[in-house]
């Protein structure tokens, strides 16, 4: 054999390996109604999880589906029995061909049970281990009609780049014998008659950026079919320094000119493609590379002012991504589901663009801010309302949220914390799967709508804080996709860890010790504060801003100097241009670390959900950590909350999980008492949306992060309306009375009867609440004699003896002041502070009788704990002594529900007798 022939054969083999595919079929152009053989070469799989399949001789299975559209769901029809990915699927058992190649034979229509009326357009396939722990990426097999068809089995890409002087093996196949021809740039290079395939070796040459179009044609007496691909020689970018003043992302230079800059270290070349060049990678739009090789940039002129241009960066010829700094993106897979009411005149991408693209627009009209002198509430005086736009009003839009601002202003809150609104994957989310950090998600409306929402909040004295997610990003974030290794970020990623160093990451974990990550986060933080006039940030999973490895929270929450330095760096950067922006950390680290941050002026979340749920249910609870002092903080930097987006709803839990049988009205009363304690402690507070109306839908309904019912009709329910008004009054006290900022306060919050005392030079306020399931007698309520004022009952109390005993029914609370305050609306609570008139006997206390809830509308529960045996008789008399209920119970030590719905409203006496012993309890029917 001649030396040249040997070299040619070697080049063919090398090139063939370079362009080979994971999955091939026999025949090459399969039809859904004929038997086909599907062959996998696992050595070519890209997913890192496929490595565990290499070397196997058994335990490899096909997981697959069939689709009836060319670009839609390829798993639309699946074989019967294919349901558990973690178990072997015997029907899909593969046959080993050796050398990590596997095959399976099938007739697709029968295998997938596709109706005969539908044409199978493609198959979705992957190989997996029996237990599903190892697998390939999703792969696709194109299916053809039963007619003359042609295709390239090599190469399969329609457009791609090749190295200079490389040989591209071309295998062109037809579905039946015909006259065949192959042309390169219009010149015939190969032909055959009565044949079904052609093979050719295409030398791409050595001219940088040279393009060759290869076309294959098959002709029969009745049909003609064609296919083509375009190959471009990988170009060598021009090296040129970045002009002064240009920054990463979009740079508007003039009314017709922009410059685009992409930070992309370790990439070979980047084309700019978009509306301005028909989405083609021609030489004019090859981006220049900076001398350090880290950035690509290009200026574009001749653009139309006011017109929106969509664009992408085509990186290394294989990956088209949006601009990580773009303020608007277009998503070909999800934008179609955004209504024109939510986002009018939304630009559409060409059908040929299959992935997310960015948008720039020269000459945008700046938003006309109405409120330019907004004064942010002091941190210690914040009452934050955590709000999720999707679940706040009917169409989940900024526009409808704007219409609800008067409701929030009346409630009295002075800050709204928006759950994440930067672009996230899809349209339906909590937002903790971010993909574009400078773009407002279009599912909620336009950028102008969001700015109007913020402007209107400021106009009404309400600050706006954004929940930002810089612990993790989802796959569609350009800097995840650009540095990817099958199933995880690549080892050379400038931004991401391959695996999170802690156990709480859901998507892909940022490396916050990377200078690249820090630069990006700082840019984003500055952008939202300046462009949208927001007032600060709540940092999601701030505890994850570390490279320190931990396997459980006991390790993760320990003081971490690196984490402190990283977060302080972001905070200092913000403070360099905004001296009083809020910086709130969802941290939950040990108090020593959190104190470090609050000493600097940051705030941290303080979760009291479990304690408040227990209290409203009547269980043991401890509110002590409502106080920033209990955390060891010098400043009021602990943002306490009863509920958040992440916690079960108090009202739901009380109605479903309390041992007492509570009515909605009773739960509302008990929530009032809990709220009185909550708002009384000095320091910032947070309310989760609709907590002020006693929202009683579980966090897990429709899935934890799924859409929840929007129940504005709650406002029309008298009991819920009174809860709202009590919240409003408590918030008004907190935000208008200086004493609620005092550092001189005492608490007794560990028992079921809770007390708070606020002190100033001239005023005292006492908060007391009974969150037990039975009435309690308390003493030492008042620290001094004289006239006191009961805020919610609009009554005066003349205290002559500080040792006077008072009776508190379950759920009863009082706000008591030694100075008269403006009177709230009457009848927001059903009781007054009354002195004790009848003491429970020692025998009654010994027998342990409890009646709850009290007051009640529907059911009271009688709990009798006694050591004696024998029948127990339960009687209810009204205050005139008339019997209204009687029941004999044979089992002692039990819990007895009594239905009181037929009783008129009023006070009743419950008599419990066992043998010669009798005991009496008073309860109220609402």
Are the folds of 16-145 and 147-234 the same? yes
Please give the backbone phi and psi of residue 48, each rounded to the nearest 5 degrees, phi first: -60, -25
Which of 101, 93, 77, 100 is closest to 129 using CA atoms? 93
- pLDDT score of 20: 63
**What architecture is domain 249-268+276-361?**
Sandwich (2.60)
- pLDDT score of 849: 77
Contact call for residues 204 and 165 (beta carbons, < 8 A): yes
Burial of 870 (0-12, 13-18, 19+ CB in 10 A): exposed
- pLDDT score of 836: 75
- pLDDT score of 571: 98
Task: Round to whole Å and give the CA distance between 544 and 565.
Answer: 13
Contact call for residues 858 and 899 (beta carbons, < 8 A): yes
Looking at the DSSP bridge assignments, the partners of residue 873 are: 888, 913
Task: Round to whole Å and give the CA distance between 551 and 902.
Answer: 57
Contact call for residues 430 and 705 (beta carbons, < 8 A): yes
Task: Round to whole Å and give the CA distance between 209 and 688.
Answer: 57
Q: Is 133 helix (H, G, I), strand (E, B) or coil?
A: coil
Q: Is 159 helix (H, G, I), strand (E, B) or coil?
A: strand
Task: Round to whole Å and give the CA distance between 797 and 47.
Answer: 75
* N-term to C-term CA, the chain: 104
Break the chain into its structural domains and give their ranges: 16-145, 147-234, 249-268+276-361, 382-472+506-736, 738-835, 842-925
Find all residues with CB under 8 Å of 9, minimum gap 6, and list them.
none
Q: Residue 553: pLDDT above 60?
A: yes
Q: Which one is the CATH code of 738-835: 1.10.290.10, 3.30.70.930, 3.40.50.300, 2.60.40.1180?
A: 2.60.40.1180
Neighbours of 909 (CB within 10 A): 16
Please state the separation of Cα 158 from the chain's center in Å: 37
Per-residue confidence band for 2, with pLDDT thresholds at 50, 70 and 90: very low
The two three-digit tokens of residue 301, written as one number: 């002129």
Task: Round to whole Å and give the CA distance between 626 and 649.
Answer: 18
- pLDDT-above-90 percentage for the chain: 82
> What CATH number was assigned to the domain covering residues 842-925?
2.60.40.3080
Q: Residue 45: pLDDT above 60?
A: yes
Looking at the DSSP bridge assignments, the partners of residue 806 are: 778, 835
Q: What is the mean pLDDT of residues 841-868?
A: 71
Contact call for residues 92 and 38 (beta carbons, < 8 A): no
H-type alpha helices, 587-663: 591-600, 609-617, 650-657
Q: What is the mean pLDDT of residues 444-458?
A: 98
Class of domain 147-234: mainly beta
Which of 38, 31, 34 is closest to 95 using CA atoms? 38
Q: Which fold has domain 382-472+506-736?
A: TIM Barrel (3.20.20)
pLDDT tens sequence across 766-810? 999 999 998 899 999 999 999 999 999 999 999 999 999 999 999
- pLDDT score of 186: 95
Residue 636's Cβ-side half-sphere holds a number of Cα atoms within 13 Å equal to 20
- pLDDT score of 156: 83
- pLDDT score of 495: 98
Rounded to the nearest 10°, the torsion over CA 660, 664, 665, 669 is: 70
**Cis preceding-peptide flag for 540 (omega within 30 of 0):** no
Q: For the residues of 70-102, what is the DSSP string, one character each?
A: SSS-TTSB--TT---TTS--GGGBPEEEETTEE
Q: What is the mean pLDDT of residues 395-403?
A: 96
Per-residue confidence band for 926, with pLDDT thresholds at 50, 70 and 90: confident
What are the distances in angstroms from CA 745 to CA 187, 676, 758, 762, 791?
91, 15, 5, 14, 19
Task: Round to whole Å and give the CA distance between 165 and 163.
Answer: 6
Q: Which fold has domain 16-145?
A: Immunoglobulin-like (2.60.40)
pLDDT tens sequence across 138-162? 999 999 988 999 999 899 888 888 9
The two three-digit tokens of residue 784, written as one number: 């001094």
Task: Round to whole Å and give the CA distance between 519 and 138.
Answer: 35
The two three-digit tokens of residue 84, written as one number: 């558990």
pLDDT tens sequence across 215-263? 999 999 999 999 999 999 999 999 999 999 999 999 999 999 999 999 9
Contact call for residues 885 and 897 (beta carbons, < 8 A): no
Q: What is the pTM of this model?
A: 0.81
């Amino acid at each position: 054999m001649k030396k040249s022939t040997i070299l040619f054969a070697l080049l063919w083999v090398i090139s063939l390996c370079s362009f080979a595919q994971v999955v091939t079929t026999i025949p090459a152009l399969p039809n859904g109604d004929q038997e086909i053989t599907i062959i996998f070469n696992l050595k070519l799989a890209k997913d890192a999880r496929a490595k565990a399949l290499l070397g196997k001789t058994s335990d490899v299975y096909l997981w697959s589906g069939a689709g009836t559209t060319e670009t839609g769901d390829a798993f639309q029809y699946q074989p019967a029995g294919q349901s558990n990915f973690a178990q072997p699927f015997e029907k899909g058992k593969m046959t080993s061909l050796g050398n990590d190649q596997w095959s399976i034979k099938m007739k697709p229509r029968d295998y997938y049970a596709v109706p005969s009326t539908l044409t199978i357009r493609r198959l979705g396939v992957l190989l997996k281990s029996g237990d599903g722990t190892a697998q390939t990426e999703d792969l696709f097999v194109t299916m053809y009609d039963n007619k003359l068809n042609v295709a390239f089995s090599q190469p399969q890409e329609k457009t791609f780049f090749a190295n200079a002087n490389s040989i591209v093996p071309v295998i062109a196949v037809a579905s039946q014998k015909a006259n065949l021809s192959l042309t390169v740039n219009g010149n015939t290079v190969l032909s055959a008659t009565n044949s079904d395939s052609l093979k050719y070796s295409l030398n791409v040459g050595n001219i940088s950026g040279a393009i060759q179009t290869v076309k294959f044609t098959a002709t029969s007496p009745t049909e003609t079919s064609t296919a083509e691909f375009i190959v471009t020689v990988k170009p060598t970018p021009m090296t040129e320094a970045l002009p002064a003043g240009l920054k990463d992302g979009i740079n508007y230079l003039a009314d017709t000119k922009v410059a685009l800059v992409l930070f992309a270290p370790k990439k070979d070349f980047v084309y700019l493609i978009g509306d301005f060049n028909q989405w083609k990678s021609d030489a004019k739009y090859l981006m220049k590379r900076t001398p350090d090789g880290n950035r690509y940039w290009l200026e574009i002129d001749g653009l139309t002012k006011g017109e929106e241009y969509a664009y992408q960066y085509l990186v290394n010829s294989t990956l088209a991504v949006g601009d990580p700094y773009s303020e608007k993106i277009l998503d070909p897979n999800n934008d179609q589901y955004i209504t024109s009411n939510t986002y009018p005149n939304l630009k559409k991408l060409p059908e040929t663009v299959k992935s997310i693209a960015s948008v720039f627009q020269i000459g945008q009209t700046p938003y006309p801010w109405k409120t330019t002198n907004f004064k942010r509430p002091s941190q210690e005086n914040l009452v934050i309302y955590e709000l999720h736009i999707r679940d706040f009003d009917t169409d989940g839009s900024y526009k409808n949220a704007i219409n609800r601002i008067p409701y929030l202003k009346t409630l009295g809150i002075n800050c709204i914390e928006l759950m994440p609104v930067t672009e996230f994957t899809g349209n339906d989310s909590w937002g903790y799967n971010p993909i574009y950090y400078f773009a407002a998600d279009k599912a909620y409306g336009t950028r102008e709508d969001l700015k109007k929402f913020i402007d209107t909040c400021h106009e009404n004295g309400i600050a706006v804080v954004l929940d930002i997610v810089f612990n993790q990003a989802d796959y569609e974030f350009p800097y995840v996709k650009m540095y990817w290794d099958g199933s995880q970020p690549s080892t050379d990623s400038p931004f991401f860890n391959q695996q999170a160093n802690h156990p709480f990451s859901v998507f892909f974990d940022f490396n916050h010790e990377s200078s690249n990550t820090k630069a990006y986060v700082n840019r984003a933080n500055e952008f939202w504060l300046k462009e949208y006039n927001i007032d600060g940030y709540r940092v999601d999973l701030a505890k994850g801003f570390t490279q320190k490895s931990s396997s459980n929270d006991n390790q993760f929450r320990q003081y971490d100097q690196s984490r402190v330095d990283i977060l302080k760096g972001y905070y200092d950067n913000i403070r360099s241009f905004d001296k009083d922006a809020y910086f709130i950390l969802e941290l939950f680290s040990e108090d020593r670390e959190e104190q470090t941050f609050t000493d600097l002026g940051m705030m941290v979340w303080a979760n009291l959900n479990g304690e408040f749920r227990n209290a409203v249910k009547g269980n043991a609870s401890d509110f002590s950590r409502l106080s920033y002092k209990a955390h060891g903080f010098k400043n009021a930097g602990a943002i306490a909350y009863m509920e958040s987006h992440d916690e079960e709803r108090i009202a739901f839990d009380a109605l479903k999980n309390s041992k007492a049988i509570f009515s909605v009205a009773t739960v509302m009363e008990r929530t009032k008492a809990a709220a009185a304690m909550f708002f009384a402690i000095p320091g910032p507070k947070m309310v989760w949306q609709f907590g002020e109306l006693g929202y009683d839908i579980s966090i897990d309904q429709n899935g934890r992060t799924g859409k929840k019912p929007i129940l504005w009709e709650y406002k029309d329910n008298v009991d819920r309306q009174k809860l709202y008004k009590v919240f409003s009054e408590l918030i008004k006290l907190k935000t208008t009375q200086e004493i609620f900022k005092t550092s001189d306060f005492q608490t007794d919050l560990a028992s079921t009867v809770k007390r708070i005392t606020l002190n100033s030079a001239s005023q005292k306020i006492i908060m007391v609440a009974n969150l037990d399931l039975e009435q309690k007698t308390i003493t030492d309520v008042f620290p001094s004699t004289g006239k006191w004022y009961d805020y919610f009952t609009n009554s005066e109390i003349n205290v002559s003896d500080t040792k006077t005993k008072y009776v508190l029914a379950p759920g009863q609370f009082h706000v008591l002041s030694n100075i008269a305050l403006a009177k709230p609306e009457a009848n927001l609570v059903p009781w007054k502070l009354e002195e004790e008139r009848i003491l429970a006997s020692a025998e009654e206390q010994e027998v342990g009788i409890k009646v709850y809830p009290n007051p009640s509308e529907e059911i009271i529960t009688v709990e009798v704990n006694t050591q004696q045996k024998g029948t127990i008789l339960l009687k209810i008399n009204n205050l005139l002594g008339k019997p209204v209920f009687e029941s004999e119970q044979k089992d002692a030590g039990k819990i007895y529900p009594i239905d009181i719905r037929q009783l008129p409203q009023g006070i009743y006496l419950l008599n419990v007798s066992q043998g010669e012993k009798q005991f009496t309890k008073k309860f109220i029917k609402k």
